[in-house]
Amino acid sequence: MFSKESSIQIPSWEKLVKKYQTAPNRKSIWQLCNSFIPFLITWYLMYLSLDVSYWITLLLALPAAGFVVRIFIIQHDCGHGSFFKSKRANDFWGMAGSIISFTPYHYWRKNHAIHHASAGKLDQRGIGDIYTMTVEEYLQQSRWGKLKYRLYRNPFILFVIIPIILFVVLYRLPISDTKDFKKFQPSVYFTSIVIVAIVATLIWLIGWQSFLMIQLPITFIASTTGTWLFYVQHQFEDTYWSESNGWDYTSAAMQGSSYYKLPKVLQWFTGNIGFHHIHHLSPKIPNYLLEKCYKENPDFQKAPVLTLRSSFRSMFLRLWDEKEKKLISFHQFKRRMLDPTGNLSRK
């Protein structure tokens, strides 16, 4: 881990990442093959398994959802222009991925670009991230405002209810009609029309019951997993937040993004997104070169590390404590309020 008293600075990081920013087309093509094709095969096997046992269908939903997450990472890289050298190729495969991930490519790319530009800025929260209140902001809320925030940050609502609503319903229509997003509205409708056409065709071929029995568990697992990954890579105890006038790009990447150390099979299915601090330093690095960049540069091994086990503690962290410079739980918040000194207990 690192000291909260000093930020991580890597003066030469731009030079270090430069050689990893070129996407070899053969590697990108191979990743397309080992992601899209297995997903389609697994989906078909799920259909065949319906005549055998639905337990087999549900079991197959796990790798199928894993491939959806992996395809989403490809779409994500295309949005950064890092998956292929060609913008046209990036946009084509980004759009292709968006059909499977149920995520409108151009709209989400804009939203995600804002996230990269504002990650760790206290005064620019709410776009492309999981909204987090500070302790002082929470104290100023009405009883209804506090209840709404508590409901929003409840793990069941945040990781089970919201993901399925977001990916199935909200992403079918433009969520924002602001000037910055208005030009992307047609692409949202286009994506939704294509998805509806494919769904209608599949229902015509295999029936609506079979389709739902296959697609619902895939979408549920994939959307929940994607939301969890996005959450845990920035929402951990010693993360980084700062007002814009004191915000530092390197610190926001190296301290505000975690290295999520996953078992190899999960690392593969999640497209190396666990090396999130490097991704935030240089979004132009394709996902399949992130691990290589990490291993070859000791400076990039200074980021906060989360394991699968330790990461689950972060789901109970709800408020940013500006005094302690850390995320705290409501239980810690309550203890602090009961402490006459106003200091957060470290017990």
Give a yes or no: residue 165 inside a domain.
yes
Residue 259, in any domain of the structure: yes
- Write down the pLDDT at residue 42: 98
Give the tens place of pLDDT for each residue, 37-51: 999 999 999 999 999
CA–CA separation, 120 vs 233, rounded Å?
Answer: 12
pLDDT value, residue 4: 47
Percentage of the chain with pLDDT > 70? 94
Q: In the prediction, which pLDDT does 184 show?
A: 83
Between the alpha carbon of residue 330 and those of residues 145, 147, 150, 316, 326, the distances in Å are 15, 12, 9, 8, 13
User: What confidence score (pLDDT) does residue 246 get?
Assistant: 84
Work out the number of other CB atoms within 10 angstroms of the CB of residue 335.
16
Average pLDDT of the chain is 90
Q: For the residues 107-136, what does the mean pLDDT come to?
A: 87
Does residue 177 have a pLDDT over 80? no
Q: Taking Cα atoms as reference points, which of 332, 51, 94, 321 lies closest to residue 207?
A: 51
The pLDDT value recorded for residue 346 is 42
Given this model, what pLDDT does residue 129 score? 80
Number of residues written out for the chain: 347
Euclidean distance between CA atoms 213 and 40, whole angstroms: 16
Range of the domain at 21: 13-316
pLDDT of residue 9: 64
* Domain contains 59: yes
Percentage of the chain exceeding pLDDT 90: 68
d(CA 128, CA 136): 23
pLDDT of res. 7: 59
Residue 161 has pLDDT above 60, yes or no: yes
Domain count, the chain: 1
Q: Is residue 337 part of a domain?
A: no
Q: What is the pLDDT of residues 263-298, one digit of tens each?
A: 999 999 999 999 999 999 999 999 999 999 999 999
Q: Is residue 345 part of a domain?
A: no
For residues 25-36, give the mean pLDDT. 96
The answer to whether the beta carbons of residues 284 and 266 sit under 8 Å apart is: no
Residue pair 184/174 in contact (Cβ under 8 Å)? The answer is: yes
Residue corresponding to tokens 């910055």: 180
Amino acid identity of residue 96, one-letter, is A
pTM over 0.95: no
Q: Is the pLDDT of residue 36 over 60?
A: yes
Res 340: pLDDT: 55
Whether the per-residue pLDDT at 343 is higher than 80: the answer is no
Report the pLDDT value the prediction gives residue 99, as an integer from 0 to 100.
96
| Signed CA dihedral, 80, 84, 85, 86: sign only | negative
Over residues 25-30, the mean pLDDT reads 95
Q: Is residue 261 part of a domain?
A: yes
Contacts for 261 with CB less than 8 Å, ≥ 6 apart:
274, 305, 306, 307, 308
